[in-house]
């Protein structure tokens, strides 16, 4: 996480107690068949100026008549990547706020709001820092020893630091959503493994490659023992960014290739781990890094694909990478919103969901799940990053405020189920109608549309020779969902 990232995300806050959230999901709840032969389309809309947040609109019905407007043509016979979902990071900062600033009822409510597929927005991915990050309360790893000491056999390895706050919340989130996937990323190896002798700065010592590989194995096994399976790991958060005031570690593409090929990949194989290994975990404008790693066939054989961040370049770089390595997947694993964002911020968040998934991302993952009103706690780096929700502890009791980051995520995560496939749809680009479509495992279809133009836009949803007209206000985002099966006449 850079100190002032050039992000594409969102702002604006909404209080749980003063703005009702509509938890409506035709994709996750059974709908009564309408007495018509054409599918009914459910409609949920949000606006950038906070007049509407996840508001259910009157349903639409397909007809045989096309209005003289733009047409978004959805073709569910053409499928692209399968989705893992949408989410954020339960950083130590977020976990601390939920644990210490909310009472039991508030904590249960916010977890339900975030993770429940039926009563919340069904977030399905968490990216977990392995040890300290810029948003932790202290510098720590899972194998800390006294200065000058080494622990190549990992005799002091322990995940006890995570037990008071992080692990209980992960278990609670998984209890609410059995589809929740955990992706884990280290900001740094333990300091004794590094040239700097510290969690800050430096790179991995040559003699520490094997211990660091075993460090990953021990972490995955320890979390599995806690009942928290690790879906995937990345080898290093932002390997080309070496921060000066929080945990970080440099790792070149050549170093990552050697580490994956000769140490981490074999270690996972020998331990019979099914956890995926993602490479890179950095910005779109640095794609020569994953290209280099994946060009080594032996290293690539251990890689599930590439993780990306949003702080440089654009998501089109993901399509270029996919075209080069079509058998390997892509996940967007970090993008933070913050107070540097100006203008229509919900629009920016909706575009993040649309542009990433249109460019082969299997996930869209924001950064901190929660921060307080001062953008804290943090160790260093970004001083004005924003969480998906804000825990405002300036009041008693504290209030949970839903940021527009939350709304942007919800317009996708509430309706696009894990395992959904992106399907074909045309899009008119920035300054007009931007969209992406999916087909859920249950056969339902979801179409997410953003009007980034300056005026309201009328358009047709066109699907299988049927049409449904709709008008979307400027800066608003809408999710349409319908059954792909014709409803029976009565």
Which are the catalytic amino acids?
238, 334
* C-alpha span between 20 and 33 (Å, rounded): 28
| Residue 127, preceding peptide bond in cis (omega within 30° of 0) | no
* C-alpha span between 411 and 407 (Å, rounded): 6
Other Cβ atoms within 10 Å of 416 Cβ, number: 30
The residues that bridge with 447 in the sheet, in sequence order, are: 437, 480
304: which residues sit within 8 A by CB, 6+ positions away? 232, 276, 277, 278, 328, 329
- Backbone phi, psi, residue 144, to 5°: -95, 135
Q: In this structure, are residues 424 and 357 in contact, taking their beta carbons and an 8 Å threshold?
A: no
User: Strand 399-403 and strand 13-15: pairing?
Assistant: antiparallel
* C-alpha span between 292 and 306 (Å, rounded): 12
Q: In this structure, are residues 238 and 248 in contact, taking their beta carbons and an 8 Å threshold?
A: yes
* C-alpha span between 361 and 322 (Å, rounded): 10
Q: In this structure, are residues 78 and 58 in contact, taking their beta carbons and an 8 Å threshold?
A: no
User: Strand 276-283 and strand 305-309: pairing?
Assistant: parallel
3-state class (DSSP) for residue 311: coil
* C-alpha span between 226 and 46 (Å, rounded): 39
User: Strand 466-472 and strand 457-463: pairing?
Assistant: antiparallel
| Residue 377, preceding peptide bond in cis (omega within 30° of 0) | yes
Q: Which residues of 77-91 are buried (b: 16+ CB within 10 A; e: fewer)?
A: eeebbebbbbbbbbb
Q: Which residues of 47-65 are buried (b: 16+ CB within 10 A; e: fewer)?
A: bbeeebbbbeeebbebeee
- Strand stretches in 32-106, DSSP E: 40-46, 55-61, 70-82, 85-89
* C-alpha span between 302 and 260 (Å, rounded): 7
**CA–centroid distance for 400 within its chain:** 20
Of 384, 378, 435, nearest to 412 (Cα)?
435
């Amino acid at each position: 996480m850079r100190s002032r990232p050039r992000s594409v995300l969102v702002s604006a806050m909404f209080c749980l107690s003063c703005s009702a959230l509509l938890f409506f999901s035709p994709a996750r709840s059974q709908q009564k068949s309408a007495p018509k032969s054409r599918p009914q389309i459910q409609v949920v809309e949000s606006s950038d100026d906070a007049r509407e947040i996840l508001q259910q609109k009157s349903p639409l019905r397909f007809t045989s008549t096309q209005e003289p407007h733009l047409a978004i043509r959805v073709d569910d016979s053409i499928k692209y990547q399968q989705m893992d979902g949408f989410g954020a990071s339960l950083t130590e900062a977020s976990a601390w706020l939920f644990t210490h600033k909310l009472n039991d009822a508030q904590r249960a409510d916010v977890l339900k709001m975030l993770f429940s597929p039926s009563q919340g927005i069904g977030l399905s991915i968490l990216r977990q820092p392995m040890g300290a990050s810029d948003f932790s309360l202290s510098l720590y790893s899972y194998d800390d020893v006294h200065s000058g000491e080494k622990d190549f056999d990992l005799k002091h390895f322990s995940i006890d630091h995570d037990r008071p706050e992080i692990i209980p919340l992960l278990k609670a989130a998984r209890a609410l959503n059995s589809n929740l996937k955990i992706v884990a990323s280290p900001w740094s190896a333990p300091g004794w493994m590094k040239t700097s002798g510290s969690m800050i700065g430096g790179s991995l010592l040559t003699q520490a490659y094997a211990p660091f590989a075993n460090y990953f194995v021990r972490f995955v096994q320890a979390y599995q023992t806690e009942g928290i399976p690790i879906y995937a790991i990345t080898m290093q958060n932002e390997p080309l960014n070496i921060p000066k005031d929080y945990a970080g570690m440099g790792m070149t593409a050549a170093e990552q290739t050697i580490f994956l090929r000769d140490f981490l990949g074999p270690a996972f194989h020998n331990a019979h781990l099914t956890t995926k290994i993602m490479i890179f975990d950095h910005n779109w404008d640095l794609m020569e890094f994953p290209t280099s790693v994946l060009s080594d066939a032996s290293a690539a054989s251990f890689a599930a694909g590439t993780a990306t961040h949003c702080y440089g370049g654009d998501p089109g770089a993901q399509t270029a990478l996919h075209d080069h390595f079509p058998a390997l997947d892509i996940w967007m694993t970090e993008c933070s919103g913050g107070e540097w964002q100006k203008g229509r911020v919900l629009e920016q968040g909706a575009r993040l969901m649309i542009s990433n998934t249109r460019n082969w991302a299997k996930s869209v993952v924001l950064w901190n799940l929660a921060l307080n009103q001062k953008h804290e706690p943090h160790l260093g780096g970004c001083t004005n990053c924003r969480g998906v929700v804000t825990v405002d502890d300036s009041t008693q009791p504290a209030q949970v405020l839903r940021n527009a980051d939350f709304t942007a995520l919800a317009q996708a995560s509430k309706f696009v189920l894990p395992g959904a496939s992106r399907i074909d749809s045309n899009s008119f680009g920035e300054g007009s109608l931007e969209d992406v479509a999916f087909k859920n495992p249950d056969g339902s279809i979801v179409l997410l549309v953003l009007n980034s133009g300056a005026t309201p836009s009328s358009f047709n949803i066109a699907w299988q020779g049927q049409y449904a007209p709709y008008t979307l206000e400027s800066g608003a985002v809408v999710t349409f969902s319908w059954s792909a099966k014709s409803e029976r006449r009565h």
